[in-house]
Amino acid sequence: MTTSLREDRRCVGVFYHRRVEASRALAEALVAALAQRGAEARLLSAWEARELLEPRLTGLNWAVVLGGDGTVLRMAGILAERGVPLIGVNFGRLGFLAEVSPEDALAVIPILLDEPGRAEDRLMLRAGSATVLEPILHDGDDVVRAIGGPARQGAVAIALNDVFVGRGRVAHAVRIEVAVDGRPLIQFSADGLLVATPTGSTAYSLSAGGPVVTPGMRALLLTPVVPHPAPVRTMVLPDCSVIDITLRSDEESVCSIDGQRHYMVPSGTTVRIEAAEHPARFLRLGEPETFYQTLVERISRW
């Protein structure tokens, strides 16, 4: 029966983690179940090289992502600029970003073909530089593209959780200069500085001593990582802020995007971080849980 199929849900991408066999098996079962309900369901690897994956995203109305938070982070960035909402099925340990358990997926995911659910927008970050920043690691199977360029016209990197700017592999503090909206704010030495979204406040930022912020807030969190002097604390800025971070160090420094993509930052380079143009969109089912209820449940797994 297809009479009740929503027009904005006809085409769905089902993304699995290719190294998690149970993820692929469930993805195949979901594709079959969704197709039986009249949807065009595509079976896709979440960690396929981007140049191969992106052409297959054309026409998608929504997506199901099966994996841990790292897989959801990757797909959120890829899908956000296309306006494609996603719902996560948790195959990871914590699952802050994935609402559905594998045991419930076959029963609840097809409901979204007929029911509107709830769309939840999450603030994302964009990072760029007037200097070209070369990649130093691979993102899954991808060769990560350089970001930055003259007059800030080069490519930018998109993050859902956070952007870290600081020291690389050498245990040596870097000098950090921070300006906000073109005005100098603070200078200090540290292992680095983390700029996080409210979504990322429960990730690296929390481990670094930052506050927990509800995902619906429109804010940017600046958290120094092992600062010297120690009294330098987290700063919370409005999401309209433009943050320029300049690093000075005799050793290798890096810019890390969601802990997945990493770029070399030469001494004296300024990295600009601000809110991204497009938010990540998550589909939610049923009555909204309170953020704090979810937080307590997830923290109990640590």
**Residues labelled catalytic:** 69
Cα-only R_g, the chain: 20
DSSP string, 22-82: HHHHHHHHHHHHHHHTT-EEEEEETTS-HHHHGGGGTT--EEEEEE-HHHHHHHHHHHHTT
Answer yes or no: are the C-beta atoms of 145 and 263 closer than 8 Å: no
Answer yes or no: are the C-beta atoms of 148 and 129 closer than 8 Å: yes
Check residue 112 and give left, alpha or beta (phi > 0: left; psi -120 to 50: alpha). Answer: alpha
Answer yes or no: are the C-beta atoms of 202 and 208 closer than 8 Å: no
Distances (CA, A) of 97 to 7, 137, 298: 26, 24, 11
Q: What's the start-to-end Cα distance of the chain, in Å?
A: 44
**What single-letter amino acid sits at 216?**
G
